[in-house]
Amino acid sequence: MAKMMTGYNAVAEAVKACNPDVIPAYPITPQTDIVERISEMVADGELTSEYVRVDSEFNAASTALGASAAGARIFTATSSQGLKLMSEPLFSASGMRLPLVLAIANRSLSAPLSIWGDHTDTFAERDGGMIQFYAEDVQEAMDNVAMAYRVAEDKDISLPALSCLDGFILTHVQEKVDPFTQKEMKEFLPEREPIHTLDPSDPISMGAYARPEHWTETRYEVHRAVNKAKDKIGKAVKEFADVFGREYGLEHSGLLETYRAEDADVILVALGSVCGTMRYVVDEYRDKGEKVGMVRPRVYRPFPVKEINKVLEDAEAIAVLEKDVSLGYQGGLAIDIKSALYSNGSRIPILNFIVGLAGRDVTKDNLRNIVEQTKELRGKKPEDVDFGDEERWEPLRTELLPGDEE
């Protein structure tokens, strides 16, 4: 039966249903409420996981990694600087093929310090061999936790997975969700069967160092596993729909969702919660008879290159909106989408918009502005477009900018 629930409660409920063995926890805004809620479940005996109150996110990840190496199912959560602090053990967890499931309440990275949401924290982990899911709403944030376990613990994959939800916008909003039942979860998520453990009766050595003659191949194998996760995500989404009755982009292997994009001339692409507002604006344009649509990748790594090409190849102009920027060169999502389309022979102009950094609202007016700018590019080739500063910031309060000193 549907219930009103905050994002942090929904994630905690998902964790309870997945029943990890070990949960190392450390507070950071806006994730804190997730581990607080879980600690209450443990305190009340609703959840029998070992809850470890660690000294830092660094050791949350390290404790999780050790427990995972022993064969345990683990969960932890973090945001922003906390994820940065976890980065070193997380990068090595993928190399050691140790499944770890984390919920990330996305938040900007310092400096300046901000507790508000954007995707700069998880984008900074892009190259570490972690699977990255992005949720649009509270229900999906909850469901992605279960799917993250299913894929991360798959024997062919065995990798860390980040289940991302926008800080505050999703963590602290109340929405109606269908909770999991334990029975359903048993059907969907089997017990973890580790590919290797530290069992002293069958000793192995984990975490050897590799010399140049082997290192490339060990990393290639991790790369292959991350890519293989695409198929596994497709299967997980399919079975998730069978068991729980909720569908996420089934026709695109569960890797992305589209909204009124099939015949669209102008397509907006974005991750996460901003897509809720985008749906509204897409409807506005459609009501006026203008062919505007939306594409929402659910997974950023592995990058769904084939699916992206398929849903974007017939557009006339594309806007990629993202809550991150690779300082010095555009936003990460736009770079990847350009790479996907242009190496496939496409000549569709693609505009990159940096939006919603550090919790700045992305309003309907911002989105209308973006659509209007993108519409102008219809029928043009990239070489005929003046991209100016490569990416556009919507909005950039230019009156605050000091300009260059003489």
Partner 1 sequence: MTEDKFKHEEDLFCSGHRACPGCGAALTSKLVTEATGPQTILSMPTGCMEVTTTPYPESAWGISWIHNIFENSAAVAGGIETAYRSFDKRNKEGYMNHEDVNFVVLAGDGATFDIGIRSLSGMMERGHDVLYICYDNEAYMNTGIQRSSSTPIGAATTTSPAGKESFGEDVHKKDMPSIAAAHGLEYVATASVAYPEDFKKKVEKALEIEGPKYIQIFAPCPRGWRHESKNSIEIARLVVETGLYPIFEMENGKITNVKKLKDRKPVEEYLKVQGRFKHLFEKEGGEEVLEELQKIADSNAEKIGIDKE
Partner 2 sequence: MTEDPYEDLKISKGAVVKPRTTLVNKTGSWRSEKPIIDHEKCIACGNCEKFCPDMAVKETEEGKFEIDLEYCKGCGICAEECPVKAIIMEEEEK
Binding site for partner 1 (CB under 8 A): 21-22, 24, 48-50, 52-56, 58-59, 62-72, 74, 88-89, 92, 96, 197-201, 203-211, 214, 218
Q: Does 193 sit near partner 2 (CB under 8 A)?
A: no
CA distances in angstroms from 315 to 293, 338, 371, 398, listed in the order given: 9, 13, 13, 31
Closest to partner 2 by CB, 181 or 218: 218
Q: From partner 2, partner 1, none, which one binds at residue 48 (CB under 5 to 8 Å depending on kind)?
A: partner 1
Q: Does 201 sit near partner 2 (CB under 8 A)?
A: no
Non-local CB neighbours of 324 within 8 Å, separated by 6+ positions: 118, 119, 120, 123, 331, 332, 333, 354, 357
Are the beta carbons of 277 and 166 closer than 8 angstroms?
A: no
- Compute the distance between CA of residue 88 and CA of residue 81 in angstroms, rounded to an integer: 13
- Compute the distance between CA of residue 255 and CA of residue 297 in angstroms, rounded to an integer: 6
- Segment contacting partner 2 by CB under 8 A, of 200-208, 254-262, 292-300, 393-401: 200-208
Closest to partner 2 by CB, 196 or 238: 196
Closest to partner 1 by CB, 24 or 297: 24
Q: From partner 2, partner 1, none, which one binds at residue 221 (CB under 5 to 8 Å depending on kind)?
A: partner 2
Q: Does 62 sit near partner 2 (CB under 8 A)?
A: no
Query: Residue with structure tokens 């770890």?
Result: 100
Which of 1, 193, 201, 205 touches partner 2 by CB under 8 A? 205
Quick one: which of 255, 206, 251 has its CA closest to 227? Answer: 255
Closest to partner 1 by CB, 72 or 311: 72
- Segment contacting partner 2 by CB under 8 A, of 78-86, 204-212, 301-309, 327-335: 204-212
Which of 22, 64, 98, 337 touches partner 2 by CB under 8 A? 98
Non-local CB neighbours of 182 within 8 Å, separated by 6+ positions: 17
Instruction: Indicate the residue type of 5.
Output: M
Q: Which helix (H) or strand (E) holds 182?
A: helix 182-188
Instruction: Indicate the residue type of 31.
Output: Q
Q: Which value, to the nearest 10 degrees, does the dihedral of the CA atoms of residues 324, 325, 326, 332 take?
A: 60
DSSP string, 163-197: EEEETTTTTT-EEEE-PPPHHHHHHHSPPP--S--
Closest to partner 2 by CB, 204 or 400: 204
Q: Does 95 sit near partner 2 (CB under 8 A)?
A: yes
The angle at the Cα of 50, spanning 47 to 53, to the nearest 5 degrees, equals 115
Shortest separation between residue 64's beta carbon and partner 1, angstroms: 6
Q: Does 96 sit near partner 2 (CB under 8 A)?
A: yes
Chain positions 208 to 247 lying near partner 2, rule: CB under 8 A, are 208, 210, 214, 217-218, 221
Query: Residue with structure tokens 């997945």?
Result: 18
CA distances in angstroms from 240 to 92, 193, 234, listed in the order given: 30, 20, 10
Q: Does 64 sit near partner 2 (CB under 8 A)?
A: no
Shortest separation between residue 203's beta carbon and partner 2, angstroms: 5
Q: From partner 1, partner 2, none, which one binds at residue 182 (CB under 5 to 8 Å depending on kind)?
A: none
Structure tokens at 401: 């900018």
Shortest separation between residue 89's beta carbon and partner 1, angstroms: 6
Closest to partner 2 by CB, 220 or 329: 220
Q: Does 97 sit near partner 2 (CB under 8 A)?
A: yes
Q: From partner 2, partner 1, none, which one binds at residue 97 (CB under 5 to 8 Å depending on kind)?
A: partner 2
Query: Residue with structure tokens 């990416």?
Result: 391
Interface residues toward partner 2, by CB under 8 A: 95-98, 158, 195-196, 203-208, 210, 214, 217-218, 221
